[in-house]
Amino acid sequence: MLSRWLKSTNSKRGLLFLLLLVLLLEAIFTWWAVAHVVNSMRAEFLSQARLIIRAINPRTVANLSGTASDTKTPEYTRLKEQLIVTQNIYPHITRLTLIGMKEDGSLFYYMDSSSVTLESEVISGRGFSASSDEVRKAYEAGSALIARQNQPEGGSFVSAFVSITQPRTGEPIAVLRVDTDSRDWINQLIGAILIPVGSTAILALIILGGFSYLVRRDQLVRDNPANRISLHFEAVITLLAGVTVVLSAAYTLHQNELYGRRMAFVQLASSETSLTIDAIRDISEYQLDGLAQFFESSQHVEREEFKQYTSYLIDDPVLQAMAWAPAIIINRTEAQEERPHLEGLRDLSVWRWENGRSEISSDVYDRIFPILYIEPFLDNIDLLGFDLASDEPLSLAMNAAFLSGLSSASDPVQMDWLDSASGNLFVFKSIFNESSHEELVGFTIAMIRPGNLLFHHARTVTGDQGVVLGLYQVSERDKYIFLASTSSDCASVQQEEPSLVHLDDSPVLLLPTSAFGRVFVIVAHPSTEFSSLYPVSGGWYALLFGMTFVGSLSFVVDSLSNRRRQLELLVNERTVELKKSETRWLFALEGAGDGVWDWNLRTNEMFYSVQWKRMIGYEDNEIGSDHQEWVTRIHPKDRDRCLVDVQSIVMGKTSSYRNEHRIRCKDGSYKWILARGKVVEWTDDGNPKRIIGTHTDITERKQAEDALSESMEKLTHMTESSINALAAAIDLRDPYTAGHQRRVAQLSVAIALSMNLDPERISTLKLAALVHDVGKIQVPAEILNRPGKLGDLEMQLIRKHPEAGKELFKNVEFAWPMADMIYQHHERLDGSGYPQGLTDSEILLEAKILAVADVVEAMSSHRPYRQALGIEAALHEIEENAGILYDMQVVEVCLKLFREDGFEFKE
């Protein structure tokens, strides 16, 4: 049954082949999609790890000793809190581990993101052995990489290793390992590749099921003639397969667009958040610390000195003010009550804020910290005398600065005399007595406007409107204080109910960073402008176009398959009638002048009609019924070719036969015969049983073809003669380069022959070489023959000759694009040629051959402006620039012609 199906329904096999080809392409596409997903996940994970590194201050890490004593330092505490907050913000991160390397090359722990209450917390200074190879690679190369690690207690995780380097020297000082559970990684991977892989599996099932149904369809139709699915099955299977492929491709394209959009946003947002982080660090490390060092290095600072020192610092719009608050001890004895005046506080009213401004009573406070100096003075004069210790949030920040010796910030302070809607941050740095480091002298203060951190250092500097930024302060592990936003719509909402979901639920970039003893979170998300710049519509367009195409294709397949089926039914109905009309058919063919033959392959007998015999001059009784009667009369030069075609139909490789050959007539002459045959009967096992065919006398047609071929040869000769004459005319106008085109043609043909190009292609290349400089006809002879150096305008005129040559031949038809060969013969692989500046893949192979031959001949020949440089100089030129200016294969062939084959130009 299968053999009958195969011999009777070639279109089914064609459809099967097409569907298998689609399956193969879908499998290749799925493989690419899976590889792309894996690479994308790795790239995003590394990008996130680099962002986390960007938020870690290298100076803080450099100040750690890598021993257990680090745990008692404020730097350790602040950095660990930053790691803990970072892990809490990113739920897919299971642990962050900071690793260092000693001078002897051994690795050790700095800290990790485990809570201090957990047993799994690593101890600073403890030796590190897990994934040590990856850490060393990241540490020594100062790079980033991803590896999968197995946990001793079971399970595994995927880790990113990113080095922390010194900003100025680039020297690695530590490596941060970012871990995520491998199960989450695999689940994310499965979710991303599920549709492409599932589509491939579904497509395979569709093709397998469709093939099985097609094999048995004829029997099913006979059993159930009313089954309409059978009538349209080819269209149904085409539609199902097409929809599967289109959905897979559209989904993958959509995901790729989303990935590209995410990475573009991360890159853009990273630059803006980095500016905010740098601004925060500058306040701590340069502005506030610099002011503190100024006070520590001076026994007493006058107001004018303070003003002069801070004049350049307060130009930063992020700062509302910089101030100095001395520590004043108030005693109840009269003599000691005069001390404030001795400290420069004469006529200064010390006050606090409690539902308004109120004077400080010495009965209430023993120590006060009034603002003594402040700049800009006029803008902040109302703050003079304000006792900072009278406000609880400020007092807590001052105490943290006193205990740690580092800059410490308060929670946002909102008072009527502050101009920030969301409150200002007070950052304190404690100043101690130079002789006694335990005696507190006072505090230097920086008052920060959080909104200006975003608007000035991110939005104003970059000028980019594509990212909306928000700034939050972490008050507790899962509680956030909103500070500022570049979106006015967001600010009013966040003040009522702070949340790290900024503006809407769109994907955001969260970046925790530590500064002033606090952890801040910078939030970035795409604005509407960014969405318009990076639309995600390619997948939808692909879906629309693909569905339209698949629907149209299914309709065409349905029309063709139904027409074929109708024709099959018609053929079956006419089979009996056709057998009855064989005699009439034979008479009709005889009347048309064709001879008929009928070959029974089982008996090897062959029937020859009377017309067949008369066509070669024999009577009916002069030729028997053996097939050798025909074979022995075939011209010896045609016999082997003819018998190969006959064998193909006899072996069942093809169902029809067509051959043109010469056959010997009775008088010894030969006639050209068109022999055609077709298998009309098959054996039960599917082999040919009977072949019927005709012989048609085509002698007159062959004679006409020979005459036409001779005319074409003459025409070709005339064309070549005309081109040779045109080349000679060019030589007459430019006697210094006479014969240049002819010699270029010699070398071009030799190269093409060595590269085994098609003869017609070589012929066209030769003609192009003979006139490749024909465009110089439009250049005045005095320019061509001038011995000196040409000017820019004259060189521009000469450089137009390839285009002029193309214009001459663009309407002349050749077997190969001769006009483009002429047009491109001065192009170079690296795009430095002219007139179009094409690169490697855009240049015709013939033009590449012409370019090499042109350079070799030109350099080895005399020119008006120089003597001949010789063949070796020319060969050195093309060898030196092979693969840069000239095609590598063409150069290699040319060098072999000269150096091994002894090629020489002929005059």
Write the DSSP string, 746-789. HHHHHHHHHTT--HHHHHHHHHHHHTTTGGGGGS-HHHHT--S-
Whether this prediction's pTM lies above 0.85 is answered by no
SS3 645: helix
Strand (E) positions, 247-369?
319-326, 328-329, 351-353, 357-359, 367-368
Strands 172-181 and 351-353, bridge-based pairing? unpaired
Beta bridge partners of 658: 676
pLDDT, position 8: 45
Question: Which residues, listed in sequence order, are joined to residue 303 by a DSSP beta bridge?
Answer: none
Confidence at residue 844, expressed as pLDDT on a 0 to 100 scale: 93
pLDDT at 517 over 90: no
Phi, psi of 428 (to 5 degrees): -115, 145
| CA dist., res. 776 & res. 774, Å (int) | 5
Element (H, E) at 872: helix 871-880
Please state at what angle helix 699-733 crosses helix 740-754, rounded to 10 degrees.
130
- In contact, 369 and 325? CB cutoff 8 Å: yes
pLDDT band at 835 (very low <50, low <70, confident <90, very high): very high
Structure tokens at 152: 């001793």
- Measuring CA to CA, which residue among 447, 486, 422 is closest to residue 317? 447
Rounded Cα–Cα distance for residues 804 and 801 (Å): 5
Vertex 880 angle, CA 874 and 886, to 5°: 80
Does position 736 have pLDDT exceeding 90, yes or no?
A: no
Closest alpha carbon to 369 in 329, 416, 319 = 329
**313, 322 in Cβ contact below 8 A?**
yes
Q: What are phi and psi of 468, to 5 degrees?
A: -100, 130
Which candidate, 780, 815, 779, 830, places its Cα nearest to that of 800? 779
Rg (CA), the chain: 45
Per-residue confidence (pLDDT) for residue 345, from 0 to 100: 55
Q: Per the structure block, which two tokens stand in for 144?
A: 């980033």
750: confidence class by pLDDT, cuts 50, 70, 90: very high
Going by pLDDT thresholds of 50, 70 and 90, the confidence category of residue 342 is very low
Return d(Cα 757, Cα 845) in angstroms, integer.
10
Q: What's the pLDDT at 468?
A: 83
According to DSSP, the β-strands at 328-329 and 367-368 are antiparallel
Residue 504, pLDDT above cutoff 60: no
- Residue 319: strand, helix, or coil: strand
Say if residue 4's pLDDT is above 60: no
**DSSP state, residue 904:** -
Helices (H), 534-632: 538-580, 582-591, 610-615, 628-631
Buried/exposed 850-861: b ≥16 CB within 10 Å, e otherwise: bbbbbbbbbbbb
Distances (CA, A) of 66 to 63, 77, 102, 502: 9, 14, 9, 38
* Distance from C-alpha of 803 to C-alpha of 776, rounded to nearest angstrom: 10
List domains and CATH numbers for the chain. 56-181 (3.30.450.20), 301-452 (3.30.450.350), 469-526 (no CATH), 587-697 (3.30.450.20), 712-899 (1.10.3210.10)
Is the pLDDT at 439 greater than 60? The verdict is: yes
Task: List Cα–Cα distances, 322 to 129, 265, 350, 450, 507, in angstroms.
Answer: 48, 36, 18, 15, 38
CA separation (Å) from 638 to 626, 664, 677, 779?
20, 11, 17, 56
**Amino acid type, 635:** H
Average pLDDT, the chain: 79
